[in-house]
């Protein structure tokens, strides 16, 4: 990986940004990103109570631009989900938007940039110039960080966001998937979709342990909903069954054009859903 990346961190937000351009442009964009980052967490905290509530049509819209992205990403959901499911992706989208805006104003220097990305702990928002592509490695199990799949996303593809969810990661999951990686138009939509698909990857089997979210992490937006804390080794047919549960949601999301593709993994079994 390049070492001219920018690392920004505050509290739980850990961003790596990269602008593939001349140093002059890169420096200018990074300094804008640094400025934008100053208030990101504060803005979220300000509306945190609202963002932790399950989405409902009659709810009032949040004010902050990141909060609005989160809200937009979960709207119309038929199942339980809070805007917090989109937080990591929305922050990545917002930061990429900041870079894009700076690159276009006052005079556009976009033609001198080949690629840009913002990686927020695995949830990635990126921009490509024509002819460029973005290569992505997928890791099935974060505890065994081996590159399991490589995806190349070209300029022509509508995908500009990638996100991963699973019970082993830092956020909590209702399901047992090791990882669900989703490709979508934005990182926020990918983030929500990955969460929802991973939540559905489930099967009944002794030894799968779930505990109320509030017992695992304080002040979780999931409240007392049980989240996965342990998964024993599963027989192959049970793994297939669990993955198929998630695949149903993935297919629905593809059909409604919310996402482009999903990559589900559980104990070395892989299921790829795309159209």
Partner 1 sequence: MANSSAKNMSAEKVNCDACPILCRISPGKTGSCDRYGNIDGKLKRMDPVILNQKAIDQHQTLVPFGEQTQQWDGSLLAQDVPLNPESIFPTAVGAGTTYPDYKPAPFIIASKHNEVDMVTVVTEGIFSYCSYKIKIDTDRYVGPEQSTVRCQGEQVGHVMTAEYGSQMLSLGGVHHLTGGSKQEGRVTCQMMMDLGNRKAVELEVDAGSKLTIQAGAAPIIDGNQEARMRVGCGSATIGIFAQQWYGHVDEVIVVDEHITGMLSEHQAGRFLGMEPSGIRVRGRRSTPGRYFQVANPGHGWGGTDVSDPLEIIDRVKEGVAYPGLRLLMVSTTGEDAAYFELDEKLKPVEQPLPQVLQKVVDRIGENCEPALCSVLFMAGAGGSLRAGVTENPVRLTRSVRSMLTRTTCGGAPAYVWPGGGITVMVDVTKMPENSFGSVPTPAIVAPIEFTMKLKDYEILGGHMAQVRRLEDLTQEREAIISNWNEDNPWPFS
Scan residues 160-189 and list those touching partner 1 (CB under 8 A).
Answer: 170
Closest distance to partner 1 from the beta carbon of 43 (Å): 9
Per CB under 8 A, 3 contacts partner 1: yes
Count Cβ atoms within 10 A of the Cβ of residue 14 and give its class: 0-12 exposed, 13-18 middle, 19 or more buried: middle
Closest CA relative to residue 12, chosen from 108, 134, 121, 153: 121
The CA-atom distances, in angstroms, between 159 and each of 75, 135, 188, 250 are 20, 12, 12, 16
CB of 126 to partner 1, least distance (A): 19
Residues 214-233 that bind partner 1 (CB under 8 A): 217-219
78 binds partner 1 (CB under 8 A): no
Tell me how far, at minimum, the Cβ of 261 lies from partner 1, in Å: 30
Nearest distance, CB of residue 35 and partner 1, angstroms: 9
Smallest gap from residue 215 Cβ to partner 1 (A):
9
Among 4, 111, 257, 274, binds partner 1 (CB under 8 A): 4
| Residue with smaller CB distance to partner 1, 191 or 265 | 191
Minimum CB separation of residue 217 from partner 1 in Å reads 7
Write down the least CB distance from residue 124 to partner 1, Å: 17
For residues 13 and 188, which CB has a smaller minimum distance to partner 1 in the complex? 13
109 touches partner 1 by CB under 8 A: no
x/- binding map, residues 13-52, to partner 1, per CB under 8 A?
---------------------x---x--xx--x--x----
Q: Measured from the CB atom, is 38 or 144 closer to partner 1?
A: 38
Residue 36 or residue 238: which is nearer to partner 1 going by CB?
36
Query: Are 199 and 147 within 8 A, CB to CB?
Result: no
- Of the pair 2, 57, the CB lying nearest partner 1 is at 2
The verdict on 108 binding partner 1 (CB under 8 A) reads no
Per CB under 8 A, residues contacting partner 1 are: 2-5, 7, 10-12, 34, 38, 41-42, 45, 48, 170, 217-219
């Amino acid at each position: 990986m390049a070492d001219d990346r920018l690392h920004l961190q505050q509290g739980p937000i850990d961003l790596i940004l990269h602008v593939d351009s001349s140093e002059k442009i890169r420096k200018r964009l990074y300094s804008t990103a640094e400025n934008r980052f100053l208030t990101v967490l504060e803005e979220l905290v300000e509306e945190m109570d609202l963002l932790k509530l399950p989405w409902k049509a009659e709810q009032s819209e949040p004010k902050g631009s990141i909060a609005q992205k989160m809200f937009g990403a979960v709207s119309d959901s038929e199942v339980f989900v809070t805007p917090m499911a989109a937080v990591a992706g929305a922050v990545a989208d917002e930061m990429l938007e900041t870079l894009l805006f700076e690159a276009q104003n006052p005079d556009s220097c976009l033609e001198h940039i080949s690629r840009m990305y913002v990686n927020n702990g695995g949830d990635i928002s990126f921009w490509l110039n024509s002819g460029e592509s973005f290569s992505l490695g997928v890791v099935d199990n974060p505890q065994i960080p081996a590159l399991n799949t490589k995806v190349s996303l070209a300029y022509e593809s509508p995908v500009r966001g990638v996100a991963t969810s699973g019970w082993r990661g830092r956020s909590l999951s209702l399901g047992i998937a090791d990882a669900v990686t989703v490709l979508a138009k934005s990182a926020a939509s990918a983030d929500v979709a990955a969460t929802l698909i991973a939540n559905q990857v489930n099967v009944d089997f002794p030894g799968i342990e779930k505990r109320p979210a509030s017992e695992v992490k304080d002040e979780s937006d999931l409240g007392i909903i049980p989240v996965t804390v342990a998964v024993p080794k599963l027989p192959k047919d049970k793994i297939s069954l669990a993955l198929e549960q998630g695949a149903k949601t993935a297919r629905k999301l593809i059909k409604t054009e919310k996402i482009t593709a999903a990559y589900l993994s559980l104990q070395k079994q892989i299921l790829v859903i795309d159209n």
